[in-house]
Amino acid sequence: MSAPTPMSLHPALDRAIDDLGFETPTAIQAEAIPMALQGRDILASAETGSGKTAAFLIPTIHRLITGPKRKGPRVLVLTPTRELAVQVANDFKKLSAHTRLRNMPIYGGVAMPPQVRAFKNGVEALIATPGRLLDHLQHGYAQLNNIEVLILDEADRMLDMGFLPDIRRILEHCPKQRQTLFFSATMPKAIKTLSDQILRNPHCIAVERRAAPAAGVRQQVIPVAQVEKSKLLLNVLARDEVRSVLCFTRTKHRADRLTDYLEKRGVRAARIHGNRSQGQRQRALDAFRKGRVHVLVATDVAARGIDVDHITHVVNFDVPRAPEDYIHRVGRTGRANREGDAVTFVSREEESHVRGIEKALKQKIERAPRFGAPEAAGEPKNTKGGRGKKPYRPNKRSAKGRPTFNGPPNRSKSRAAARRRAR
């Protein structure tokens, strides 16, 4: 990686950067690293995939190597999800490979004793989700009074997930004299208010958000009835070019049902969502990375932090409600100038969401022929082009003219009964 800063980095850090094959800094790295190395607070608007993790880890590791040693953690990174915490911890380990720096991911869903030992034995960096960190801060062994650098990664997602009160409680345990690096894809009012409260004369960076997926991603919409989506997915998976698929569902329950459906039909599939334990989520992610699993079914929140290079196809089993979520999902394929495919299954009730996405992208997404027969979509078959004849629905409360098994009520008997009453 060519030095993106006016200051030289520590040789051990330079060596790790070379090992990773970094050559040209991204826009966020080129602007954030020099300012962070000078000790400035940073307020950056940057989304997932912009290279922001290296943008805050490189200057932070340089500071840990060159600065005076202290007891206890010196760096705290807060992330919204366990997967993102694990990803940041792994990136920290790679960039500090030629040093003795240690880090510990702190998140729920796993046993606490190893995390307790990390606090007691001393690590230089904590990468934590707010909830589990607060659990530790209730005990005397967990101290944050020597934190030099506080990093908030994907702050807007933490706000969406209701972590803002937790963040404020964590800030009470950190020293006021510190460097704060604040990264958020969007800047809603609550995030702006928080940044004004915790940052001191920050250097502001606004990296232009992607208005569309990468150029190498081929996008396609397939109209299909809601009940036919699982069959359509099997049809897509049968194609020769489909090798590694990340499939998004709207809810955790749908992710479970879809994974079970695929496994019963011989497809190697795994699921990842909030109701799965951390061990289950990590095993699913590792199996997907190593190719032992063909399809990874995920919800949007759980997918935060999924960093897999070889994804050939992204399938939107359910259409995302927000265009930003669509761009985020589709951006999981076609990375690093590779090609990829994004396929969206759209039922009749989801058409409005597709129109919203197309409006945001300022382009029409290619439409494939409808999958399945019209009857599968709940549409009455009518070759004359009209609206079709509605099926007969008998009135069960009627005492007279009860429906027969073969059709509508026997009208002749009803009329005869009416004549007898009239006599």
CATH topology assigned to domain 217-377: Rossmann fold (3.40.50)
DSSP letter at 140 equals T
CATH ID of 11-206, from 3.65.10.10, 3.40.50.1820, 3.40.50.1110, 3.40.50.300: 3.40.50.300
Tell me the C-alpha distance between 282 and 288, whole Å.
10
Q: Which residues pair with 269 in a beta bridge?
A: 295
Q: Which of 16-20, 62-66, 88-92, 325-329 has the lowest mean pLDDT?
A: 325-329
**Ranges of H-type helices in 48-109:** 52-66, 82-95
> If pLDDT is split at 50, 70 and 90, which confidence band does 379 have?
very low
Fold matches, 11-206 and 217-377: yes
Domain segments of the chain: what residues?
11-206, 217-377
Q: Please, what's the b/e burial string for 94-108 (b: 16 or more CB within 10 A of its CB; e: otherwise)?
A: ebbeebebebbbbbe
pLDDT score at 98: 96
Consecutive H or E run containing 106: strand 103-106
Per-residue confidence band for 6, with pLDDT thresholds at 50, 70 and 90:
very low
Q: Which residue carries 């007898």 as its tokens?
A: 420
pLDDT at 92 exceeding the cut of 50: yes
Question: pLDDT digits over 261-307, tens only?
Answer: 999 999 999 999 888 887 888 899 889 988 899 999 998 765 666 67
Q: What is the pLDDT of residue 249?
A: 95
Model confidence pLDDT, tens digit, residues 359-374 = 988 889 999 999 875 5
Residue in 167, 217, 163, 221 with CA at minimum distance from that of residue 197: 167
Helices and strands (H, E) in the chain, number of each type: 15, 14
Using an 8 Å Cβ cutoff, are 148 and 63 in contact? yes
Complete edge-to-edge strand list for the sheet that includes strand 313-316: 269-272, 295-298, 245-248, 313-316, 340-346, 217-223, 366-367
